[in-house]
Amino acid sequence: MCGVGVVLSALLSGGAHAADLLTKAPPLPYVDDNFWTRPYLFGDLGRTKLKEQGISLALTLGDEAVTNLSGGNKNTGANAGQLWFQAKADMGKLFGIQGGTVGLTLVDRFGDNLNTEAGIPALQLTNEVFGRGNILRLTELYYSQKLFDDRLELKGGRLPVGSDFFFGECEFINLTFCGGQPGNIQGGYIFNWPVSQWAGVAHFNLTKELKISAGVYDANPNYLTTSDPTVYFLPGVPNSSAASGVLVPVELTWSPSGPLYGTWRFGGWYDSASTIDGGLPGIIQTIPGVGGVPDQNLGDQRGRYGIYESILQRVTVDGPKAQGWYVFLNTTVADHRTSFQDYQTAFGVKHTGTFTWRPDDEVGFAVGTTHVNSAAFGPNAGGNEVPLEAWYGWQATGWMNLKFDAQYVINPGGRGFNGAGIKTDNAWVLGARTVVHF
């Protein structure tokens, strides 16, 4: 199987990893030094030899340039991206500790948020790669050990929740369709990539295709800091005075194999914090576009929770590699007592091998919705934001992928009003994503 097929198989069999959030990883082993078809811009640089010895290295740039044709209070553009470095050490090859792995991921983000620059009051980012500070973050530093013929995996260290739970692909530019959906609507206490926190995770394979996973994550909003490098860059411990307890996700994963492979995730989470969360970075006191404070009659809510499903399935085999149609369906429902955004759902399709003479090119389309909770926050806060997105993905070279993208966001913010209470238009957004493997 070619590199594209290998990676798609890994993603759909439950192997999606946070580093795959923007695009497919280049193939290994390195067998081609043609500038246009080789998997890395700068060539192999000895990395294949290192991988054989137990050390894997990768450096990747992802950039999203977007502009709005309507919506907000002005038409403008924004550019944001991230450069991330990954290293993995196979402890079996290096030190004879079979089943052991040490992983490190550093992420450096840059750029601007189109929603802010254009005044689009959208609930979800229209350039999803923006966020959590234009700084260099420690996104992963962990040790993983497989036991009992690889049926059990124990993992601990600094981890984002999305490295081991939730939906892991990110092939769209609107955040509704990208990454860990619970973190999209509950970002005040579920931290998606690139934010990490101290955690312990266990995966147990009940059968070849069925796996159960559980984790415990230190719940502390100070992991979101952009001013304390001992926390965001080094594996330090944030100020414990802000600690709210623990976040516990549990997930059952079914990964049917064969030509029509897939990943079906069903899970939920419980956070022991006793506070009202706005679903935005930090605990909010006012509701965007509404003002005021949450209903004081809610009182001191004990704990927060939610459930989710994520289905990613190949439905046709249209060629010898990974060509075919793929579909996904994600739904998350959060605790209505404490959530500003209380549910989100997204459906999408993708076809790989768009043309016979372009076997690695792709097309994609998705539609989704995010709901503002009127039950807990009053009738003026209710409503649904509905984005639609379509793109064409051009595998320009072996090391560079380009996506040409169009979004249409209906009822931005769920009510279609900005923070000043002024009605805003639906937003047309055009964009391009560039991914380069160095």
- The per-residue pLDDT of the chain, averaged, comes to 86
Distance CA 158, CA 137 (A): 11
Cα 185 versus chain centre, distance: 12
Q: What is the pLDDT of residue 15?
A: 35
Q: Look at residue 301 and tell me whether its pLDDT is greater than 80.
A: no
**Single-letter code of the amino acid located at 65:** A
Range scoring the smallest mean pLDDT among 76-80, 171-175, 233-237, 292-296: 292-296
Kindly provide the b/e burial profile for residues 132-151, where b requires at least 16 CB atoms within 10 angstroms of the residue's own CB: beebbbbbbbbebebeeeee
Convert the pLDDT of each residue in 59-85 to its tens digit: 999 999 999 999 999 999 999 999 999
Q: Look at residue 279 and tell me whether its pLDDT is greater than 50.
A: no
- Output the six-digit token pair for 122: 């959208």
Half-sphere exposure of residue 367: CA atoms within 13 angstroms, side-chain side: 3
Convert the pLDDT of each residue in 167-217 to its tens digit: 778 999 999 999 899 999 999 899 999 999 999 999 999 999 999 999 999
Convert the pLDDT of each residue in 308-330 to its tens digit: 999 999 999 998 889 999 999 99
